[in-house]
Structure 1
Amino acid sequence: MEPSRCQQDVRDPVPRVDAYGFERPEDFDYAAYEQFSASYLVVLARRAAKWSRLLRGGRAVRRSGTVKRYVRKGVPLQHRAHVWMAVSGAQAQMDQNPGYYQSLLQGAGSPELEEAIRTDLNRTFPDNVRFRKTAEPCLQQSLYHVLRAYGAHNPGVGYCQGMNFIAGYLILITKNEEESFWLLDALVGRILPDYYGPQMLGLQTDQQVLAELVRRKLPAVAALLDGHGVLWTLVASRWFICLFVDVLPVETVLRVWDCLFNEGSKVLFRVALTLIKQHQTLILQAASAPDVCDKFQQMTRGPFVTECHTFMQKVFSEPGSLPMATITKLRETCRATLLAQG
């Protein structure tokens, strides 16, 4: 009937772009997403009420058992920037360095750094309407400022591919360049040291740590990859370097980041192990190296990763015990091996 067609015409443009500006793909499953959204909106409303009580009267957010529990269950979008800034230490750094971000932007920049950043601007989220040159405002300019300032702040890292995606997400959430800069500094400088920059030793180390954890917890998967000669850098490097951006759905990535800012890099191993354990049967069907890579791509699509609330519950249960002492020891061993190799 005519009225329903009119309703369809009104509704169609809305779901094509999500709340963060990303265009949904042609094969997007609207029916499944709407079913998930209906239940998740109830969860979000309940969490928002709890967070509002916790933050009532401008109360400061400090790491605690309660905050850890709340963060694991999800930070509402309206509080996300505030909570990330608090638990990561970024707010304290910004407060202690007033005017520093602006001074970096006003300083003389490196032509090489600026050119490297500009080269990647158009490659950053081409499916996001807010990063297009036709957008008003166009977030490419904010992205350029944040990355240029960070390169000047940390010349040992400068700019590395992958940082553009991370900074882009930070800008989408904070809507503030200076806060995005300090959150990027928290990630690159403290939470994920040596992930970015010329040698990426921290990134290489953690990929080897993941390989060892899989050998211990999911030996059949490790044996399959070894048997087909598939290196973990081939299947998991993007998971770590982009912190699951452009790998998992946006809302799921943000739930992972809630915990990453509060609990540190151990969360990345939990997410990776959960994905692998949940899809162990699928992976073990692979008959060749290209098939293994294809299975790993399949793992990051579908209802399991879209239903972010259930997914995060699995992240903190499926991998089992994962003491920080174990990860620290594995990091020391893997780093020593990498350095010895050269």
Structure 2
Amino acid sequence: MATTEQGNGLAPRGTKEKLTGDRKRSDPEMNGGVPGEKPVDKYGFTGGAQQHCGESAEEIPIEVLRQREAKWLEMLNSWDKWMAKKHKKMKERCQKGVPPSLRGRAWLYLTGGKVRREQNQGKFQELDNQPGDPKWVDIIERDLHRQFPFHEMFAARGGHGQQDLLRVLKAYTLHRPEEGYCQAQAPIAAVLLMHMPAEDAFWVLVQICEKYLPGYYSAGLEAIQLDGEILYALLRRVSPVAHRHLKKHKLEPILYMTEWFMCAFSRTLPWASVLRVWDMFLCEGVKIIFRVGLVLLKSMLGSQEKLKACQGLYETMELLRAIRPQYMEEAFLVEEIIELMVSEKDIEKEHHAQLRHWKETHGDLHCKSPPRVHGAKAIMAAEPPSRQDLRQRPTFIVESPLAPQTDRVRAEASKENGKSKAEQQKTIKPPQETANPYFPPGDPSPFLNHMTVKASKESLSSAEHDTYL
């Protein structure tokens, strides 16, 4: 089994090599600055390979988007019921794509991060206040400017994005000191911070590392090597031509799939495709990551005609480092992922087979990672949350004057009626929204502009709202 090489884009743990391998960077990118006065795309990119250019075939009409937002709000407000009785419908909605205005909150719920946060109140603040292990803090600080340097959130050295990224990654090293920090965790955390506050991003990162991709970021990279062999075995069934080609040239999986899997394709695909893949991945589990890898391998190496351009190991590696844009395009990729019949059972069957083979050739695993949990439903079934854990906690409340009063509202009104008029005037204060550092003053989340509130004490807060768009 080959060890991880610098050319994979992932250096061994604790080294100072760049996550991007030997790719050349421009001066603005190395300096963590925004190159020139380029316009910002709808995802926050000012340049680079992942900047959105032109109109996408997947642009959703505003009316459809509003309808989807209303449906997702309904799901989020009755999450346990939807997971228990309507999970198939939820999965279909994730496949269509989570509305941008609710993506952060949806990811928090799908991963079980919301429950972990509620069950560990104050834990992140406690970790955040600690100085951290100097060894890990030093390595993390050296990696900060390499994470999406063309995104407006992470462009400035010492800016709020880089500060939050340091806080989240440092907190994880304190939460799991036996694991410490792995470079591939940085882009995962950065994607999360684009959609949610630091505390939420921390708990979602914990869930991804412990439930979705257990062992990926531990010393030795044994889990990723095992999954590479699983991918290779599944490829034999999905695309025999591609499998024979890779076998012929002895191209081991870890040489081409390490960055794909460890970074959940966040550094590989165009951004629209990254978000759609993550919507499905966080709902359905790691099978989505396997499916993406299989689709790309089949698309690039799946016929004799396509193999004419790569007759050797080096040519094949170069081809897989530069996937053709049409195979990474959102509409094509999502359709192929959904249609590819690779299930959790298929992955687990191959996992046990590869584990037996590993023990025969390498002995016992050095890192004992917890069992992999396949998706949101399995996570919730393994650790059933209480209604309190799933409850929305708004920063401010808007009551509809047209709606019937709840018992709580009636009780509060009764108390108010018992006060004198002067006392009531003193206690009445206008609701204040928590300031959101990611929007200019007075610029609330765009979702608030069109939201209709119905007699609800549910969230309209920047704390619960996914606002980093």
CA distance change for structure 1 residues 337 and 143 in 2, over 3 Å: closer, same or farther? same
Tell me, yes or no, if structure 1 residue 322 matches structure 2 residue 356: no
User: Which whole-Å CA distance do the structure 1 matches of 2:67 and 2:52 have between them?
Assistant: 30
Match of 2:102 in 1: 79
Within the candidate set 280, 288, 303, 2:312 is matched to 288
User: Which whole-Å CA distance do the structure 2 matches of 1:17 and 1:115 have between them?
Assistant: 31
Q: CA deviation at 1:259?
A: 1.1
Q: Which runs of 4+ in 1 moved over 6 A?
A: 26-29
Q: Judge conservation of contact 2:230–2:350 (CA < 8 Å) in 1.
A: yes
Match of 1:158 in 2: 180
Within the candidate set 112, 116, 119, 1:96 is matched to 119
User: Which whole-Å CA distance do the structure 2 matches of 1:58 and 1:183 have between them?
Assistant: 16
Structure 2: runs of 5+ lacking an equivalent = 1-35, 363-469
Structure 1: runs of 5+ lacking an equivalent = 1-12
Q: Judge conservation of contact 1:221–1:283 (CA < 8 Å) in 2.
A: no
Letter in 1 for 2:178: G
Structure with greater Cα Rg: 2
Match of 1:206 in 2: 227
User: Which whole-Å CA distance do the structure 2 matches of 1:333 and 1:191 have between them?
Assistant: 20
Match of 1:5 in 2: none
CA distance change for structure 1 residues 26 and 269 in 2, over 3 Å: closer, same or farther? closer
Q: CA deviation at 1:16?
A: 4.1
Q: Judge conservation of contact 1:88–1:261 (CA < 8 Å) in 2.
A: yes
User: Which whole-Å CA distance do the structure 2 matches of 1:100 and 1:275 have between them?
Assistant: 40
Within the candidate set 154, 157, 160, 1:131 is matched to 154
Match of 1:298 in 2: 322
Within the candidate set 68, 75, 82, 1:50 is matched to 68
- Per-residue CA deviations over 1:270-298 (Å, capped at 9, x if unaligned) read 11111222232365221111110122133
The structure whose residues are more often helix, as a share, is: 1
SS in 2 for 1:20: coil
Q: CA RMSD in A?
A: 2.4
CA distance change for structure 1 residues 45 and 204 in 2, over 3 Å: closer, same or farther? farther
Letter in 1 for 2:113: A
User: Which whole-Å CA distance do the structure 2 matches of 1:312 and 1:223 have between them?
Assistant: 26
Within the candidate set 112, 120, 127, 2:143 is matched to 120
User: Which whole-Å CA distance do the structure 1 matches of 2:149 and 2:51 have between them?
Assistant: 17
Moved more, 56-65 or 68-77: 56-65
Within the candidate set 249, 265, 268, 2:270 is matched to 249
Within the candidate set 173, 188, 197, 2:218 is matched to 197
Q: Judge conservation of contact 1:210–1:269 (CA < 8 Å) in 2.
A: yes
Moved more, 118-127 or 280-289: 280-289
- Per-residue CA deviations over 1:155-206 (Å, capped at 9, x if unaligned) read 22210011001100100111x0001001101100111111111022221111
**TM-score after normalising by structure 1:** 0.86
User: Which whole-Å CA distance do the structure 2 matches of 1:149 and 1:115 have between them?
Assistant: 14
**TM-score after normalising by structure 2:** 0.64
User: Which whole-Å CA distance do the structure 1 matches of 2:75 and 2:210 have between them?
Assistant: 32
The structure showing larger relative contact order (alpha-carbon pairs under 8 Å, at least 6 residues apart) is 2
Letter in 2 for 1:184: L
SS in 2 for 1:214: helix
SS in 2 for 1:193: coil
Match of 2:351 in 1: 331
Q: CA deviation at 1:19?
A: 2.5
User: Which whole-Å CA distance do the structure 2 matches of 1:240 and 1:29 have between them?
Assistant: 23
Aligned residues: 319
Q: CA deviation at 1:20?
A: 2.9
- Per-residue CA deviations over 1:192-225 (Å, capped at 9, x if unaligned) read 1111110222211111100001112211111111
Match of 2:405 in 1: none
Q: Judge conservation of contact 2:42–2:52 (CA < 8 Å) in 1.
A: no
User: Which whole-Å CA distance do the structure 1 matches of 2:289 and 2:192 have between them?
Assistant: 18
Letter in 2 for 1:17: V
Match of 2:133 in 1: 110
Q: CA deviation at 1:128?
A: 2.3
Match of 2:4 in 1: none
> How high is the sequence identity, in percent, across the aligned residues?
28
- Per-residue CA deviations over 1:125-148 (Å, capped at 9, x if unaligned) read 22223212358x431100000000
Moved more, 102-111 or 254-263: 102-111
Match of 1:6 in 2: none
Letter in 2 for 1:267: I
Tell me, yes or no, if structure 1 residue 168 matches structure 2 residue 186: no
Match of 1:263 in 2: 284
User: Which whole-Å CA distance do the structure 1 matches of 2:49 and 2:194 have between them?
Assistant: 23
Q: Judge conservation of contact 1:44–1:76 (CA < 8 Å) in 2.
A: no
Match of 2:465 in 1: none
Q: Judge conservation of contact 1:162–1:242 (CA < 8 Å) in 2.
A: yes
Q: CA deviation at 1:53?
A: 3.0
Tell me, yes or no, if structure 1 residue 141 matches structure 2 residue 163: yes
User: Which whole-Å CA distance do the structure 1 matches of 2:182 and 2:199 have between them?
Assistant: 19
Q: Judge conservation of contact 1:105–1:149 (CA < 8 Å) in 2.
A: yes
Match of 2:42 in 1: 19
